[in-house]
Amino acid sequence: MMRHLTLHAPTLRAALLLLAAAFLAAVAACSERSSPDAPKTGPAAQPSVPYRAVATVGMVGDIVRRVAGDRAKVWVLMGSGVDPHLYKPTRADVSAMLEADIVFYNGLMLEGKMTDALVRVAATRPVHAVTELLEETDRLRPKEDASGHYDPHVWMDPVRWGRTVDVVRDRLSAFDPAGAAAYSANAERLSGEIRSLHEYAAGVLATVPERSRVLVTAHDAFNYLASRYGFEVLGIQGLSTESEAGVQDIERIVRVLVERAIPAVFVETTVADRNVRALIAGAKAKGQDVIIGGSLFSDAMGAPGTYEGTYIGMIDHNVTTIARALGGRAPERGMSGRLATPESTAPSGSARPASTDRPSAEGAR
């Protein structure tokens, strides 16, 4: 754990965040924990079913929901269209976690502004990072990013993200041993679907001409996808949307668009599109026509209740959109014909408040 304590940021705030994250990782490594006031019956008390599970973001929540099945009610704190890099937990969020029986989060500083709250919750109930089994060699840390943090957007690579299924299965089995057989069966089924997703992604992205395999997006969220499938990523902002793009960043990417005749750039559902549109204007001023190839899901999934509101649907949408926009071949409705039309998945311009994903509202699925 101590290797995560290297302090790359000069500010006190950054140092405290890293120390808190390291403490949280150490606490989360303990697979059996219970509230100090909870009755003890051997190593751990058997929870009542369905128990309450909370996940910070939709990608994590979808894995927990699929593995847990009907043994848990799962609430997601940050809904569709919410940017986790900027999100600050509300009192309702902290209450939801304190009332939960088990909590899952992404880790790798994705939920950086929630670190204090997660540490507080971890003192009384199990709190687990789904990325905890990733080997150091599987974590990316782009040289261009000055934060010194690992890239948290692991879900963009189905192969790496598939390992989170094992984490959730094992942590739920330790927490609720009576459900271990169900968790194992559910995890095996989900892992098979994620393998099929990877095979589809590899196939359609391989049809993109090599010179066009450049993914230009609002922020640097697609490095894991690029690493897996042989693309280059040019994010206008850094790993976190907290970073600001400067004129030089825009000019640098415009030069690449023109020199390599890149046909399309992409907006994201959780990030304003003004910088992407500045790229298009800059390229046009130099005689290169560039279009918006589509809207990609980066830090949040689609609307609840839709195919794009699942992890499988999110990535299916992304790789299908990328392949078709950059000159590759992919079916318009995706790998299983379930994708919505592009018009119906465009960002609405206003995010649904995460506070509506609450036990008293519609967050439980």
pLDDT at 146: 61
Candidates 189, 193, 173; CA nearest to 181 is 173
Please give the C-alpha separations between residue 324 and each of 131, 230, 331, 332, 344, in angstroms, as whole numbers: 31, 16, 8, 8, 17
Distance of alpha carbon 152 from alpha carbon 110, whole angstroms: 5
Which residues, listed in sequence order, are joined to residue 233 by a DSSP beta bridge? 215
Distance of alpha carbon 221 from alpha carbon 237, whole angstroms: 9
pLDDT at 359: 38
Taking the model in full, what pTM does it have?
Answer: 0.81
Which residues in the chain come in under a pLDDT of 70?
1-44, 143-147, 237-246, 342-365
250-301 pLDDT, tens digit per residue, is 888 999 999 999 999 999 987 778 889 999 999 999 999 999 999 999 999 9
Q: Where in the chain is the domain with CATH 3.40.50.1980?
A: 7-190, 202-348
pLDDT at 344: 52
- The three-class DSSP label of residue 312 is helix
Candidates 343, 320, 342, 345; CA nearest to 330 is 320
- 180-205 helix and 158-175 helix, angle to the nearest 10 degrees: 170
At the fourth CATH level, which superfamily is domain 202-348?
A: Nitrogenase molybdenum iron protein domain (3.40.50.1980)
Checking DSSP bridges between strand 232-237 and strand 264-268, what pairing results, if any?
unpaired
Distance of alpha carbon 152 from alpha carbon 162, whole angstroms: 15
pLDDT at 322: 98
pLDDT at 308: 97
pLDDT at 118: 96
CATH topology of domain 7-190: Rossmann fold (3.40.50)
In order, the DSSP letters of 185-246 are HHHHHHHHHHHHHHHHHHHHHTTS-GGG-EEEEEES--HHHHHHHT-EEEEEE-SSTTS---
Q: How far is CA 183 from the centre of its chain?
A: 22
